[in-house]
């Protein structure tokens, strides 16, 4: 009595060869299906990589500028008008234990023009401020050209212009003269832009003693800048208002400019969700493309399926063959998307002068997601192929 034939299992290498039959014989159709997955993964990698590179660039700039800067300025009263800081505010704030550096600017009654022929109503939105000598050191502001005020020039008709103020006045280099407070002032220097203190960009800065003697400054700080210990910034923020104006702490505006930069970065990051949604649509389209290719492949290869079933291939082996074809297309598309997206991040970051940063989780998740999408897309065609009757398949071939 003969024993029934035993079911045999295909080795992994045999399964791999079977899975490559479809991509090798239908190269163009398979490539187009994999392209959909490739574009989706490339979009995910590019969006997350560019956002991460932008964040790395911002954090690096904050580290150079110092994210521990606190600004104390007049708040608004019930009539919505600024309430000046008390004359003791600057000194009192300097006495807070964690505060390491303090500087200030003061308001003046002066206006600045290119020359004395410019009409008085055309101020150009430029403010004239009294400045402490340590202003640049505390704020980490640099000069684009020229020199900063010193012990001698703070008593003389010398001004240092912000970058935007110089542009509006038509000043291109130190040594030129402007009409400030009804007198000719020489421009000693021009500041470089600084994201943490943009208000200095539209200001003409003069020495504190000069402002008090000739420009109507009362010696009271209009804005006080603090540099506390980095780990004690929240503590200083909590007490700065009450310290500057103990009688009315609610009339003091305390802010941390670096928080504004981070908020701006997060606002830009909100667009990332939209772009990722579009990338998800691209992945979905790629998955549908793979499913369509596999369904058409099942219909076109019914003769092959029937012949294999007639020779003893089980339905599960047929299903695995077609599922492997889908997964291979997804894997190829995922690797292609990873390479394309990484190149896009590298090129964009290089053009912007940013550090290149591609999150590790996207490198791992990209191909993994593409394989998962392809596997889901290939389940139905694989089951359809596995359920085909050998006689019907051979008859319709």
My answer on whether 233 and 267 are in the same domain is no
In this prediction, residue 11 has a pLDDT band, given cuts at 50, 70 and 90, of low
Considering the chain, what percentage of its residues have pLDDT values greater than 90? Answer: 40
Whether 7 is covered by a domain: the verdict is: no
CA dihedral 62, 129, 207, 255 (to 10 degrees): -30
Q: Do 282 and 296 share a domain, yes or no?
A: yes
User: What gap in Å lies between CA 377 and CA 328, rounded to an integer?
Assistant: 12
Residue 136 maps to a domain: yes
Question: How big is the CA angle at 233 (ends 228 and 239), to the nearest 5 degrees?
Answer: 90
Domain boundary among 257, 280, 307: 257
- Alpha-carbon distance values, 134 to 71, 72, 91, 186 (Å): 15, 17, 15, 20
In-domain check, residue 1? no
Tell me the per-residue pLDDT of 232-282, one tens digit each, with 9 for 90 and over.
Answer: 888 999 999 999 999 889 899 998 877 755 655 555 555 556 666 766 676
Judgement on whether residues 90 and 161 belong to the same structural domain of the protein: yes
Confidence of residue 2 (pLDDT cuts 50, 70, 90): low
Which is it for strands 203-207 and 177-180: parallel, antiparallel or unpaired?
Answer: unpaired
**Beta pairing class for 203-207 and 127-131:** parallel
Can you give the pLDDT at residue 50? 83
Tell me the per-residue pLDDT of 69-81, one tens digit each, with 9 for 90 and over: 899 999 988 888 8
User: Of 257, 282, 299, which closes a domain?
Assistant: 257
Asked whether residue 7 carries a pLDDT value surpassing 70, the answer given is no
Band (196; pLDDT cuts 50, 70, 90)? confident
One domain, residues 307 and 339: yes
Tokens of 39: 């574009």
Higher pLDDT, 303 or 178: 178
Residue 55 sits in the same domain as residue 153: no
Query: Does 353 have pLDDT greater than 90?
Result: no
Question: 120 or 86: whose pLDDT is higher?
Answer: 86
In the predicted model, is pLDDT for residue 286 greater than 70?
A: no
In a domain, 6, yes or no: no
User: Is 4 domain-assigned?
Assistant: no
253 and 201 in a single domain? The answer is yes
Tell which residue, 127, 82, 123, 81, has the closest CA to residue 105: 127
Half-sphere exposure of 306 (CA within 13 A, CB side): 14
Q: How far is CA 246 from CA 90, 93, 221, 240, in A?
A: 13, 11, 16, 10
Residues 78 and 152 grouped into a single domain:
yes
pLDDT at 174 exceeding the cut of 80: yes
Residue 316 has pLDDT above 60, yes or no: yes
Nearest to 318 by CA among 19, 117, 7: 19
The string of pLDDT tens digits covering residues 17-27 is 666 666 776 77
Local confidence band at 284 (pLDDT 50, 70, 90 cut-offs): confident
Using an 8 Å Cβ cutoff, are 183 and 98 in contact? Answer: no
Structural domain for 138, as ranges: 69-257
**Mean pLDDT across the stretch 368-391?**
76
pLDDT value of position 87:
92
Return the percent helix, strand and coil in the chain, to nearest 5.
55, 15, 30
**In a shared domain, residues 90 and 191:** yes
- Looking up tokens 């055309």 gives 122
Tokens 């600024």 belong to residue: 82
For residues 128 and 202, membership in a common domain is answered with yes
Question: Which pLDDT score, from 0 to 100, does residue 246 have?
Answer: 92
Three-class DSSP category at 213: helix
Is the model's pLDDT at 15 over the cut of 70? no
Q: State which of 257, 274, 289 marks the end of a domain.
A: 257
* pLDDT at residue 302 greater than cutoff 80: no
Residue 389 lies in a domain: yes
Residues 161 and 218 in one domain: yes
What is the pLDDT at residue 268? Answer: 54
- What distance, in Å, lies between the first and last C-alpha atoms of the chain? 37
For residue 3, being part of any structural domain is answered with no
Q: Which of 9-13, 42-46, 147-151 has the lowest mean pLDDT?
A: 9-13
Mean pLDDT of the chain: 82
* Residue 174 shares a structural domain with residue 317: no
CA–centroid distance for 198 within its chain: 20
Task: Give yes or no for a contact between 227 and 99, defined as CB atoms under 8 angstroms apart.
Answer: yes
Tally of domains within the chain: 2
- pLDDT tier at 172 (50, 70, 90 boundaries)? very high
Instruction: Calculate mean pLDDT across residues 83-106.
Output: 94
Give the Cα separation of 30 and 352 in Å (integer).
36
pLDDT in the model for residue 141: 93
Task: Quote the pLDDT of residue 41.
Answer: 82
> Residue 210: is its pLDDT beyond 90?
yes
Does pTM surpass 0.85? no
Q: Which pLDDT value is given to residue 6?
A: 53
Name the pLDDT band for 357 (thresholds 50, 70, 90).
Answer: confident
Is the same domain home to 235 and 350?
no
- Is residue 2 assigned to a domain? no
Is the pLDDT higher at 97 or at 380? 97
């Amino acid at each position: 009595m003969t024993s029934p034939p035993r079911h045999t299992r295909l080795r992994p290498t045999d399964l791999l060869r079977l899975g490559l039959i479809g991509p090798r014989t239908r190269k163009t159709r398979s490539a187009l299906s994999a392209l959909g997955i490739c574009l989706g993964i490339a979009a995910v990698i590019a969006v997350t990589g560019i956002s991460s590179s932008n964040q790395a660039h911002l954090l690096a700039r904050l580290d150079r500028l110092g994210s521990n800067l606190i600004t104390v300025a007049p708040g608004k009263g019930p009539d919505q008008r600024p309430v000046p800081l008390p004359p003791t505010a600057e000194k009192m704030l300097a006495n807070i234990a964690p505060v390491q550096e303090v500087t200030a600017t003061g308001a003046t009654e002066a206006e600045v023009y290119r020359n004395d022929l410019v009409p008085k109503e055309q101020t150009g939105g430029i403010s004239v401020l009294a400045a402490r000598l340590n202003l640049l050191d505390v704020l980490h502001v640099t000069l684009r050209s020229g020199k900063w005020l010193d012990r001698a020039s703070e008593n003389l008709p010398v001004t240092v212009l912000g970058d935007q103020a110089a542009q509006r006045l038509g000043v291109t280099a130190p040594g030129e003269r402007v009409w400030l407070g009804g007198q000719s002032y020489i421009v000693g220097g021009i500041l470089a832009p600084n994201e943490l203190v943009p208000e200095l960009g539209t200001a003409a800065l003069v020495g504190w003693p000069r402002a008090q003697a000739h420009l109507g400054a009362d010696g009271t700080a209009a804005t006080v800048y603090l540099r506390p210990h980095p780990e004690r910034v929240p503590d200083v923020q909590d007490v700065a208002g009450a310290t500057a104006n103990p009688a009315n702490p609610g009339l003091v505006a305390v802010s941390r400019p670096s928080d504004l930069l981070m908020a701006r970065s997060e606002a830009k990051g909100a667009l990332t969700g939209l772009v990722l949604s579009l990338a998800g649509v691209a992945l979905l389209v790629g998955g549908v493309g793979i499913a369509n290719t596999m369904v058409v492949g099942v219909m076109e290869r019914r003769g092959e399926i029937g012949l294999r079933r007639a020779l003893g291939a089980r339905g599960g082996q047929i299903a695995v063959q077609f599922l492997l074809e889908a997964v291979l297309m997804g894997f190829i598309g995922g690797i292609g998307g990873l390479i394309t997206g990484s190149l896009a991040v590298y090129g964009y970051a290089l053009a912007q002068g940013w550090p290149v940063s591609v999150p590790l989780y996207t490198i791992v998740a990209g191909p993994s997601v593409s394989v998962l999408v392809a596997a889901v897309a290939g389940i139905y065609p694989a089951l359809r192929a596995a359920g085909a009757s050998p006689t019907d398949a051979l008859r319709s071939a």
